[in-house]
Chains A and B, each alone.
Chain A
Amino acid sequence: MNKCIFVFLLLLTLCINAQEQRTTLSFLDRTEFKIGYSGNVIWNNGLTFGAEYLWKEKVKIKDRKRGKRTNTHQFLFNSTLGFTTNFSSKTDTGLFTNFGLTWRRTNKKGKQFSIAFNPLGYYRSFLPETYEVKGNDVKKVFLPGRGYYAPSLSIGLGRLRKGKTLTGRYFNINFMLRTPYNTGTVPSVSLQYGFRFNFKKKK
């Protein structure tokens, strides 16, 4: 399972690079980076880093009484790497990464609404001192933890800052599943607040 996920992630990265070669805009022109808090405040707190690569963009202009209304619809490839831990215990620490597609609408005032679906996700838990028991043998486990398939869905709001290096900020509610976790699947909910930036947009 882990190997399959790795191959998927690799292919996705190659796809993104291939896309870049077909377009006139450079990879950095199309890519925004993001950094933010991720957690549910009470139990899990952590950081996420990521990138969003603009795949398709459509500008819709509608005539309204007060003038023209411009909405931009974007599809972006999205990738995230995150770290989460519970400061009160040592049993809930993990690294996760996910890849997927984001749909984002930006209105004339720069207000954004987005939905990100990340079908490719991997969560690796890191456990404290662990001993494995097999029959009468007890052995300490090196770098203990477990890997889970972890798809996620995020719904969020944001604000675009046109022409700035710090291109915007976002607030998402993220719903992630981890499976196989014990006998089934375990859900987790987190809030994500952070900033997007693009070094190429300095004007």
Chain B
Amino acid sequence: MRKIICIPLRTVFILVTLLSFFSCSNNDDLSDLNATIMVRHKNADMPAYIYGNGSEKVFLITLHGGPGSIGLGFRNSTFKNKIEKACAVVYFDQRGSGMSQGSYSENGISIDIMAEDVLALVKVLKHKYGSDSRFFLMGHSWGGCLGTATLLKNQNEFLGWIEIDGMHNPKGMYSRYIENFELIANQQINEGNSIDFWESTLNLINTVPLIYDESAFFDMNNKAFNAEVKLGRDGVINKPRNDSDVLFEYNFITALSTGGNTQAILIDQGLLETVTYTNRLSEITIPSLILWGKYDMVLPVSFAQEAYDNLGSSSKELVLFEDSGHEPMFSEADLFAEKVIQFIDENK
């Protein structure tokens, strides 16, 4: 009888030990953080991958693009070797992105809820690392939209805001594409670069409707990414070198499937047609750093000046990367790291 009871008990003990092992983070040494924690908020479990030097309890929270991309996509060698030496970097898989999971209806995805998720992440980090922890927020592309929405909810949690080629005005993208393509295409044709491609670009903008059309938007969006490839090949910009090793960390079937759904839901909610924070940027008063690639074809550089002019911060700086497109953190990585570290040092 005793044996009959002992064997299941032993099995339960082994199972609990194994499962506890998988529930543990492997490094809580603040000077060299390497931890994965999950934030459970409003029916979603979202991973935050925390790396770097947290000895000063300064955390840089990064918001990835997409919507629906992956948090660790930022983590190239410059982040690892430079920015993570200066502070702890939190790479966050947003709701419905990367390896985040959960169970909620389409109403469970919105900019508002996703901004609350970021504030929930701050609460978790304070709970884990102490209420004296300090935070900077960084958003790239779509992360610029989410970051702005987060700050408009509660900017008191953050010491500074870094917008990298950000989407603070999604509604404005459609008309800016047309203006920017016309400008850059004519420049490149005059310089004799990839003439066929730029002529086809001019043809495209001559055929798209002048008011928002989803299909035309994505035609121009695809063209914008292709345009940056051409600019890279023609030596106008540096080719982005993203050496982040995420191939094994993300199951791409899962990440693409769930990220695609999230993007579609946000677009159906009118992200690209109705959402703009330009008129509310003046409410953001924390120190701000705006980093933009001069040849960004996806979010044209005119948005950078718009952000700089409208932000309400008394301490703000605009840095244009002369040899970059949409991803200056990969095409001018050293300058990018220098500017980010300098900003954090000045405001921490």
Contacts and interface: CB of A to CB of B under 8 A. Distances in A.
Interface stretch (A7-15, A58-66, A107-115, A138-146): A138-146
Nearest to B126: A138
B253 interface: yes
Interface in B99-137: 99-106, 108-109, 120, 123-124, 126-128
Main secondary structure of the interface of B (DSSP, over half): mixed
B19 A136 contact: no
Contact of B38 (A44, A130, A180, A184): A130
Nearest to B45: A127
A146 B101 contact: yes
Nearest to B119: A133
Contacts of B128: 131
A86 B248 contact: yes
A129 B37 contact: yes
A8 B28 CA distance: 43
Contacts of A90: 22, 36
Interface residues of B, number: 47
A42 B127 CA distance: 35
Contact of A187 (B124, B249, B253): B253
Interface string A130-161: 11110010100101101000000000000000
Nearest to A184: B261
Max chain B CB contacts within 10 Å: which of A44, A93, A131, A136?
A: A131
Interface in A50-101: 85-93
Contacts of B250: 43, 89
Given A129-B25, A183-B96, A42 B36 contact: no
B117 to A, nearest CB: 9
Given A43-B251, A126-B19, A182 B102 contact: yes
Contact of B249 (A89, A125, A129, A132): A89
Interface in A182-198: 182-184, 186-189
Contacts of A129: 23-25, 35-38
Contacts of B108: 183
Given A42-B248, A143-B23, A181-B101, A133 B261 contact: no
Contacts, number: 127
A131 B40 contact: yes
Given A92-B251, A133-B120, A182-B104, A144 B25 contact: no
B161 to A, nearest CB: 22
A87 B120 CA distance: 28
B251 A133 contact: no
A189 to B, nearest CB: 7
Contact of B127 (A131, A184, A188): A131
Contacts of B95: 182
A82 B247 CA distance: 24
Contacts of A91: 36, 38, 47, 93, 99
A200 B38 CA distance: 47
A128 interface: yes
A130 B47 CA distance: 9
A138 B124 CA distance: 6
B104 to A, nearest CB: 6
B23 A127 contact: yes
Contacts of A92: 99, 251, 254
Contacts of A85: 22
A182 B96 contact: yes
A187 B37 CA distance: 24
B301 to A, nearest CB: 34
A181 B97 CA distance: 11
B24 A183 contact: no
Interface of A: 40, 42-44, 85-93, 125-133, 136, 138, 141, 143-144, 146, 180-184, 186-189
13 contacts: A88-B249, A89-B248, A90-B36, A91-B38, A91-B93, A92-B251, A128-B22, A132-B40, A146-B45, A182-B96, A183-B104, A183-B261, A188-B253
